[in-house]
Amino acid sequence: MDLHEFDEIRPYEEGEMKEALDQLLNDRHFNKVMQGFAPWLPKGLRNGFFKMMFIGVKTPLDFQLRFMKHIVRYVLKKHARGHSFRYDTISNRGNYLFVSNHRDIVLDSAILDLMLHEAGFPTTCEIAIGDNLLIYPWIKTLVRMNKAFTVRRSLKAKEMMESSILMSRYMHYSITRKKENIWIAQREGRAKDSSDQTQESVLKMLALGGEGTIVERLKELNIVPLTLSYEYDPCDYLKAKEFQQKRDDPSWKKNKQDDLDNMKIGIFGYKGHVHFRTGTPVNEWIDELKDVPKTDVFREIAMRMDKSIHSNYMLYPGNYIAYDELNKTKTFQRRYSQHDKKVFEEYLRGQIAKIDLPNPDEAFLRERILTMYANPVVNKIRAQEL
């Protein structure tokens, strides 16, 4: 297996970073973005400053540790109230394919990288990112510098299968040869209602690479279910807005600006507390499925992974308040105070007020946001009953 086989989708390798930086600095759109951060600095001096900062950065991991680590720490310090990582089910000397629920377009993987680094793992993660988010050439260059590989979307059936095989082969190569970690979401796109379910199609894609039976191919990847819990989702009101837009116009679709807005709000919006927790590695139980019919293997794996992800949610007062209000019960009233309820109610009003629609249906929008916060409670209850 030759690394060049994956040139169209893989991250940059050592020796390619200098050329990538030059591409960035010569990109008109990137310079506009950078000008916003330092409008007083002429382009020549700004580019010289970046080149000086880049001295010694030879690999994407160097780039993450030199730049991204500090940016993510700053974002968490300014826009969150703390973060935690529980990884007692795995070793910080291993490498894994983390399959997680998906909350934030940019930060899910970026925070995981920081947490892995702080926990003493030898490397961070390569990141699966959809090409629908690579709106400008500079974004594609930047994410490839940041250990991202490309998931191609909106292809015809034959092209999609070829693309899926290539991506799966690359992921097997990255785990077994490069000894990297990988992060991938459990489904295409975020669950707008925060009811997280693993798509069987994702697992089927993972089994396209490697050798042997389905079980043997998946074991090669060392899959770990990962649960991401954000106390607040800064994009909750944008998701609620989408629900109304689709309700009022079934043909409505997001545009490029919508994706950019979600990225920006997700990074700079308030997240409250953030908690990541690993589940039991799939390899510890997947051999139990050797005799399961092929048609049922992926469904069984998805169910077990969902149980792990749902069981490991960290639930916050807002989750319990949303559940009780939505269901008109007092089931979890011991989990929150009147002050918590007042704070969450003010938060809800503030988020709904941000929704810029000509005809906002406030009752509908409120129900949608409450559902987003209540669903983790519903899924955790169900997982613990199974």
Give pLDDT, residue 1: 64
Q: Which residues contact 172 (CB under 8 A, 6 or more apart)?
A: 209, 210, 217, 220, 221
Q: What distance in Å separates the CA atoms of residue 309 and residue 356, rounded to the nearest whole number?
A: 34
Distances (CA, A) of 68 to 72, 304, 315: 6, 33, 28
Residue 196's DSSP bridge partners are none
* Per-position b or e across 31-61, b if 16+ CB within 10 A of its CB: beebeeeeeeeeeeebbeeeeeebeebebbb
- Of 98, 104, 40, residue with least CA distance to 305: 98
Three-class secondary structure of residue 211 per DSSP:
coil
- What is the C-alpha separation between 39 and 44, in angstroms, rounded? 12
- What's the rounded Cα separation, in Å, for the pair 87 and 228? 12
DSSP conformational letter for 329: -
pLDDT the model gives residue 54: 84
pLDDT at residue 133 in the model: 81
Render 16-85 in DSSP notation, one character per residue: SHHHHHHHHHT-HHHHHHHHHH-TTS-HHHHHHHHHHHTTT--SHHHHIIIIIHHHHHHHHHHH-S-EEE
pLDDT value of position 45: 76
- For 378, list phi and psi in degrees, rounded to 5: -55, -45
* C-beta separation of 118 from 82 below 8 A: no
In tens digits, what is the pLDDT along the chain, a chain of 386 residues? 667 899 999 999 998 999 998 898 888 888 877 776 667 667 777 777 777 888 889 999 999 999 999 999 999 999 999 999 999 999 999 999 999 999 998 999 999 999 999 999 999 999 999 888 888 889 999 999 999 999 888 778 888 899 999 999 999 999 999 999 999 999 988 889 999 999 999 999 999 999 999 999 999 999 999 999 999 999 999 999 999 999 999 999 888 788 888 889 999 999 999 999 999 999 999 999 988 888 899 999 999 999 999 999 999 999 999 999 999 999 999 999 999 999 999 999 999 999 999 999 999 999 999 999 999 999 999 999 86
- Cβ–Cβ under 8 Å, residues 27 and 138: yes
Angle at the Cα of 295 (from 292 to 297), degrees rounded to 5? 45
Q: What is the pLDDT of residue 38?
A: 65
Give the separation between CA 186 and CA 212, rounded to whole angstroms.
23
Cβ pair 5, 169 in contact under 8 A: yes
Q: Domains plus CATH for the chain?
A: 3-231+275-314 (3.40.1130), 235-268+315-386 (no CATH)
Residue 233 is encoded by which pair of tokens? 């989702």
pLDDT score recorded for residue 260: 81
Q: Which amino acid is at 64?
A: Q
pLDDT of residue 131: 86
pLDDT at 53 (0 to 100)? 81
Which residue in 259, 269, 196 sits closest to 231, CA to CA? 269
